[in-house]
C-alpha cells in the first residue's frame, strides 16, 4: 500500500517548506519555498554556511541588501538543481509597505536568477499580502514575473490577490489555528477543532470555494501546518507546502488519502464577490482581528530574522 505522502501526491502538488537540500532530495517535492527564517536557520548549519561565505567573498564591498539577495538566489539555484518545478524567493519584509521598492527588489532577484541561467517560469517572488505588496505583484505579473503572495490569512487578501492576477497565494493554516487556540485558552476543544473543523483549514476551504466559484486562475498553496491532520483535510488543494518533519510523518504511514477539496464540492458554495478597492480592503482586513494580528506579527518576525541575517553578513566582513 502507498504511504500517505505518496497518496497525497495524486491529489495535490507537494512542496517542501525548507532550506534544507537533503530533505528535498529525500522527499522529492515538485516545488520548494523559502523565507528569511528558513534561510537564517540554514546558514547557521555547517553544511550551508559556505554559501554565505562565498557570497561575501565574491562581493566584500557590496551593500548588505545586495549580498542578502545574492545569498537567497544561491540557495534558490541549489534548490532548482534538485526540484523539477519552482522555487519561491522572498522580498525583504521591510519593504512590505513600499510598492515601488518591492517591485525594484523583485526585478533584481529575477535578474540574478536569469544571470544564473534560470528562466522566470521557475521562480516565484514571495511578497507579503499587504495592500502595497499586492499592488507590487500586479505590476510584476504584468511584466511576466510570477508572484507568491504570502502571510495571507483572510478571504479579503485572497480576493485582492485574485483581482491583481497573482500567480499563487500561500494562506497560512497553522498560524490561524494558533491564534484561535490562544484566544479560546482553556475553552479550546482540540477534537472539536480538528480536521475539516480546524479554523485554518476552514479559511483555506473558503478561499478555494471562492476561487472556484469565480473562475480565478490563481493557485492556492496551503502553508504553515502544525499537524498532518490539517494537511490531509486540505487534500485536493492546488499545492501544499510542508515542513520536513511533517513530510517524514506522512511518508512513514501507509494509507489512502481522499480529496477533500474538489471543484465539484466548491461549486455548491454560494458566495458574493468581494470589493476590490483599497478602502474596502483596509477596512475589512482591520475588522478581521486574527488576520490583521497575524499579518503584522508575521512581518515583524521576518524582519527580525532579516536583520539577524544582515548582522551575520556584516560580522563576516568585520563590520
Positions annotated as catalytic residues are 126
Q: Which of 299, 313, 309, 308 is nearest to 94 (CA)?
A: 299
CB 261 within 8 A of CB 173: no
| Residue carrying the nine cell digits 485574485 | 162
List beta partners, residue 300: none
How buried is 125 (Cβ within 10 angstroms: 0-12 exposed, 13-18 middle, 19+ buried)? buried
List beta partners, residue 89: 125
Rg of the Cα trace of the chain? Answer: 19
Q: Which helix (H) or strand (E) holds 271?
A: none
Q: Which residues contact 253 (CB under 8 A, 6 or more apart)?
A: 3, 4
CB 166 within 8 A of CB 149: yes
Q: How far from 279 is each of 33, 152, 272, CA to CA, in Å?
A: 31, 18, 18
CB 90 within 8 A of CB 72: yes
CA 171, 202, 259, 80: dihedral to nearest 10 degrees? 10
The neighbour count for residue 84, using CB atoms within 10 Å, is 10
Q: Which residues contact 264 (CB under 8 A, 6 or more apart)?
A: none
CB 154 within 8 A of CB 296: no
* Three-state secondary-structure class, residue 171: strand
Amino acid at each position: 500500500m502507498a504511504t500517505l505522502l505518496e497518496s497525497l501526491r495524486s491529489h495535490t502538488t507537494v512542496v517542501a517548506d525548507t532550506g534544507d537540500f537533503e530533505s528535498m532530495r529525500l522527499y522529492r517535492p515538485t516545488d520548494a519555498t523559502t523565507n528569511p527564517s528558513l534561510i537564517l536557520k540554514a546558514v547557521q548549519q555547517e553544511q550551508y554556511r559556505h554559501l554565505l561565505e562565498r557570497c561575501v567573498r565574491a562581493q566584500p564591498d557590496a551593500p548588505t541588501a545586495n549580498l542578502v539577495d545574492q545569498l537567497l538566489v544561491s540557495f534558490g539555484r541549489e534548490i532548482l538543481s534538485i526540484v523539477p518545478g519552482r522555487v519561491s524567493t522572498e522580498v525583504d519584509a521591510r519593504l512590505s509597505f513600499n510598492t515601488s521598492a518591492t517591485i525594484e527588489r523583485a526585478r533584481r532577484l529575477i535578474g540574478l536568477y536569469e544571470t544564473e541561467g534560470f528562466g522566470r517560469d521557475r521562480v516565484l517572488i514571495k511578497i507579503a499580502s499587504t495592500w502595497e505588496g499586492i499592488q507590487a505583484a500586479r505590476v510584476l505579473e504584468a511584466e511576466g514575473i510570477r508572484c507568491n503572495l504570502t502571510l495571507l490569512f483572510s478571504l479579503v487578501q485572497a480576493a485582492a490577490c485574485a483581482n491583481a492576477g497573482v500567480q499563487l497565494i500561500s494562506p497560512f493554516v497553522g498560524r490561524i489555528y494558533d491564534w484561535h487556540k490562544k484566544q479560546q485558552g482553556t475553552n479550546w476543544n482540540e477534537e472539536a477543532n480538528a480536521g475539516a473543523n480546524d479554523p485554518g483549514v476552514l479559511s483555506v476551504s473558503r478561499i478555494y470555494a471562492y476561487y472556484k466559484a469565480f473562475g480565478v486562475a490563481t493557485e492556492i498553496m496551503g502553508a504553515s501546518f502544525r499537524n498532518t491532520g490539517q494537511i490531509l483535510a486540505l487534500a485536493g488543494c492546488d499545492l501544499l507546502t510542508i515542513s520536513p518533519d511533517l513530510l517524514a510523518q506522512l511518508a512513514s504511514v501507509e494509507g489512502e488519502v481522499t480529496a477533500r477539496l474538489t471543484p465539484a464540492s466548491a461549486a455548491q458554495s454560494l458566495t458574493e464577490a468581494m470589493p476590490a478597492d483599497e478602502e474596502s480592503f483596509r477596512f475589512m482586513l482591520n475588522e478581521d482581528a486574527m488576520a490583521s494580528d497575524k499579518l503584522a506579527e508575521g512581518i515583524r518576525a521576518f524582519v527580525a530574522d532579516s536583520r539577524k541575517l544582515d548582522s551575520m553578513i556584516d560580522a563576516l566582513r568585520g563590520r
